[in-house]
């Protein structure tokens, strides 16, 4: 066991009352050849075996901080799928604008809803009247009536409308600023779907996620988008802050290496 501990990147030893400890183990735990384990004493007032006393909180925080640095953003996307390539063509075509462009975004929203959001959030069955007269099972988004779709204005609205078509029982909200989402908005909700057309640096999404978490500590948050920039996923400062949030998943149609920031001049932001 001692050899295994020496090979580990870091060792944390949990110890009990001093009267119940092994004296032979005490000798081995004194720093030898650079081996300096940390320890947690249970109860916390028990004297340490090695090194200075470290509170349970400080150890736990250091463990989770390191864990967050190694975590990746939870993401599901369709970048290489044939369907995504067809859908993204309409969104990238400069000859398409106005209603046709909004329709393209709505179609993307509906596709993400039925193909990806259902997989992330799950489905539930409910009884319905079959056309042949008997009762059968239908399916909808898990706790759909307790789901809030938030269109981040202005670019996210068409895509959010497409998601709303797939989940007609979900609530719908427009948000231009953080304050548009309040306690009352989240009352009784179990899932929030934030929708934007393009996510570049991720700063806006980070602000909304933080805001929602201050209002509701455990609600599931799913971020749907047409495009998310690859640079955001590559251990960026924003990414490392986002991975600290539990119950957070990103569902973009595609990941892009091409960074372009829209100015809100069109009804879909940066397309």
Distances (CA, A) of 242 to 210, 233, 265: 9, 10, 28
Q: Which residue has the higher pLDDT, 103 or 58?
A: 103
Instruction: Flag the least confident range among 117-131, 143-157, 190-204, 235-249.
Output: 235-249
Q: Are residues 28 and 140 in the same domain?
A: no
The C-alpha atoms of residue 260 and residue 271 are separated, in whole angstroms, by 10
In a domain, 137, yes or no: yes
The predicted-structure confidence for 3-21, as pLDDT tens digits, reads as follows 665 566 555 666 666 666 6
User: What's the mean pLDDT in 227-236?
Assistant: 86
Distances (CA, A) of 171 to 30, 58, 144, 209, 221: 60, 41, 9, 18, 14
Range of the domain at 114: 82-256
Residue of 107, 80, 104, 77 whose CA lies nearest to 91: 104
Please tell me the total count of domains within the chain: 2
Q: Are residues 34 and 110 in the same domain?
A: no
Q: Are residues 233 and 166 in the same domain?
A: yes
The predicted-structure confidence for 244-258, as pLDDT tens digits, reads as follows 899 999 999 999 987
Contacts of 268 (CB under 8 A, 6+ apart): 91, 101, 102, 105, 154, 155, 158, 159, 197, 226
Residue keyed to tokens 């580990």: 8
In a domain, 119, yes or no: yes
């Amino acid at each position: 066991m001692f050899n295994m501990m020496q090979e580990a990147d870091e060792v944390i030893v949990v110890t009990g009352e001093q009267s119940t400890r092994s004296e032979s183990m005490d000798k081995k735990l004194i720093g030898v050849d650079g081996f300096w384990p940390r320890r947690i004493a249970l109860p916390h007032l028990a004297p340490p075996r090695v090194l200075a006393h470290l509170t349970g909180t400080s150890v736990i925080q250091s463990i989770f901080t390191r864990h967050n640095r190694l975590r990746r953003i939870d993401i599901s996307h369709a970048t290489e799928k044939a369907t995504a390539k067809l859908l993204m063509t309409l969104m990238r075509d400069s000859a398409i604008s106005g209603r046709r462009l909004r329709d393209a975004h709505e179609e993307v929203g509906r596709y993400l809803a039925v193909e990806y959001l259902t997989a992330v959030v799950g489905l539930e069955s409910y009884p319905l009247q079959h056309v042949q007269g008997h009762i059968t099972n239908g399916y909808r988004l898990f706790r759909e009536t307790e789901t809030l779709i938030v269109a981040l204005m202005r670019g996210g609205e068409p895509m959010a409308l497409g998601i709303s078509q797939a989940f007609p029982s979900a609530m719908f909200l427009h948000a231009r600023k953080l304050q548009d989402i309040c306690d009352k908005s989240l009352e009784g909700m179990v899932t929030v779907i934030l929708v934007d057309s393009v996510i570049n640096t991720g700063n806006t999404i980070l602000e909304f996620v933080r805001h929602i978490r201050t209002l509701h500590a455990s609600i599931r948050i799913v971020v749907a988008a047409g495009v998310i920039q690859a640079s955001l996923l590559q251990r960026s400062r924003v990414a490392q802050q986002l991975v600290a949030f539990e119950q957070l998943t990103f569902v973009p149609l595609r990941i892009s290496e091409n960074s372009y920031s829209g100015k809100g001049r069109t009804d879909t932001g940066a397309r």
